Amino acid sequence: MTSRNPLTVTHLFALLALVLLAGCSSDQQNWNAKSISGLMPELSYQLTDTTGNTATAEDNKGNIRLMFFGFTSCPDICPTTLQKLSAVVNDLPEPARKDVKIIFVSVDPQRDTPERIKSYVEFFGDDIIGLTGSEKNLRELSKRYRTTFGYEAPDEKGNYDVSHSGAVYVFDRKGEARLLVRPGQSLEALTADITALANEDA
Amino acid sequence: MSAADYLLPYDFSPLTILAYILVLGLFSYGLFRMPAAERPGSGRIFTFTLGVLLCYLVMQTRFDYYSQYMFFVHRGQHLILHHLGPILIALSNPLPVMQFLYRQIPRIALPFLAPIGWAYRVLQQPVIASLLFFGLIYFWLWPSIHFDAMLSRDLYWVMNWSMLLDGLLFWWLIFDPRSPTTSDALGYGKRMLCLAVVAVPQMILGAYIVFARGMVYDVYEVCGRAWPMPPDMDQLLGGLLTWIPPAMMSIFGILIILRRAMRADTNGAADSDSRSKPHPAPQSP
């Protein structure tokens, strides 16, 4: 058998990966979050808002949207994330601030009634959009963004844990999926990203 | 959830369904139309169908859902697409059926199929085939690429199909039923060498995942798991599935080839006469 330098193949794969990734994103900006341009479809959902009415992505068309999945009984990641997102939006300069909307989607419709979600999101900020829906619609939305959620078996008090995405999905004014913010992202890094996005096509 | 929900595709892919219908349809057509003397026995038909169905099940049922949201199930899915399914298909020796189907292709169409033959011959060079076999595992498990593949529906399908096709190519090269003494099939020694060569990098990668302290694949953390499970447990199981079963399958493959080689050795005198025959009867596994 002829001996072949394995490095060349590693290089080939690296090159292939680069081509693949370059084809996926047209972003020139150095984002702190993960750029998901081209990897995911534009924002679309049909859910229920905190007043009990149907809500769709058309309602906040033209806004930059930060979408997050969670549930109100969530012990750590949901409150931390909502707090962080709220702080980011409050730090933005005035014109951009109105443009950025936080969307909290509860994936625990059994416990999270619209009223409960309303008081929950109002605790973190005035402008946060709280949504939930039938499990079918929630499954559809989560599938669209390649995420999921699951329920633990309830304990004797009826409490149960819910596994859900820890990421924030960022959509630009056109509704295109742009960034995926990992749970560990710092406040400064996130603020920089959202500011850049707000300035991009203001 | 009803039984139908478990059997229906999580992410319906018409192309995938079509491909499976085509494979099973052509296989059955060949079986019914070919001369009875060449027709594979029921055991081989069963093995072939089992291999195809296993691959279908992990791609177009609820299993796919768990593969998308649990790292260890994803590793199990690739174990079937890249190893177990193709191994069963190759061991079932569908060569007589394929040869019969090939003879049904109109002569006029043959020149158009030639490029497929060229690509096939290049990909079946033992060095290229081995590199491609473990290279593809490394490629799709490269953390940043893995992240994208799990986020993008298109990339996800490319990943699974590339694993399945490469699995079929590699295991067909290894379990080619034709004897290397009477055809241009790869020699038994080289086949065993390929199996040993591809086992090592898979074991290294599996061990790396098992012993990694941090999260190597955080996409499952970011996108939520199918059910609440400690992330390190998921990673540990996934690493073990990357490490142990593929290594076992390499050893299993070496044993099968060893047996064939020994048989060919003892029948060597008898076989040497058959060299002059233009179409040696394919040997069953």
- Partner-chain contact A165 B228, CB within 8 Å: no
User: How large is the average pLDDT for residues B258-265?
Assistant: 91
Whether B280 is in a domain gets the answer: no
- Residue A21 has what pLDDT? 57
Reported pTM: 0.85
- Partner-chain contact B131 A161, CB within 8 Å: no
ipTM for the complex shown = 0.77
Q: Assess whether pLDDT exceeds 70 at residue B129.
A: yes
Total domains in chain B come to 1
Q: What is A75-91 written as a DSSP string?
A: -SHHHHHHHHHHHHHHH
Whether B285 is in a domain gets the answer: no
Q: Assess whether pLDDT exceeds 90 at residue B268.
A: no
Whether B206 is in a domain gets the answer: yes
Whether B102 is in a domain gets the answer: yes
Domain extent, residue B204, equals: 3-267
CA–CA distances in Å: residue B71 to residues B61, B215, B231, B265? 17, 11, 9, 44
pLDDT category at B43 given cuts 50, 70, 90 is very high
> Which among A17, A40, A150 is the nearest to B225, CB-wise?
A150
CA–CA distances in Å: residue B122 to residues A17, A178, B54, B115? 22, 40, 28, 11
How much is the mean pLDDT over chain B?
Answer: 91
**Contact status of B151 with chain A (Cβ, < 8 Å):** yes
| Higher pLDDT, residue B268 or B285 | B268
Q: Which fold has domain A30-200?
A: Glutaredoxin (3.40.30)
Whether B283 is in a domain gets the answer: no
- Residue B233 has what pLDDT? 93
Residue among A48, A23, A11, A32 at smallest CA distance from A133: A48
- Residue A124 has what pLDDT? 93
Q: State the Cα angle at B259 between B256 and B263, rounded to 5°.
A: 140
Tens digits of per-residue pLDDT, A117-164? 999 999 998 889 999 999 999 999 999 999 988 888 889 988 898 888
- Partner-chain contact B226 A148, CB within 8 Å: yes
Q: Assess whether pLDDT exceeds 60 at residue B282.
A: no
Whether B178 is in a domain gets the answer: yes
Whether B168 is in a domain gets the answer: yes
Whether B282 is in a domain gets the answer: no
Q: How far apart are CA A106 and CA A88, in angstroms?
A: 21
- Residue A1 has what pLDDT? 41
Q: Assess whether pLDDT exceeds 60 at residue B37.
A: yes
How much is the mean pLDDT over chain A?
Answer: 86
User: How large is the average pLDDT for residues B82-87?
Assistant: 98
* Contact (CB, 8 A) for B30 and B100: yes
User: How large is the average pLDDT for residues A96-124?
Assistant: 93
Listed in sequence order, the residues at least 6 apart from B19 whose beta carbon sits closer than 8 Å to its beta carbon are none
Residue ranges per structural domain of chain A: 30-200
| Higher pLDDT, residue B227 or B86 | B86
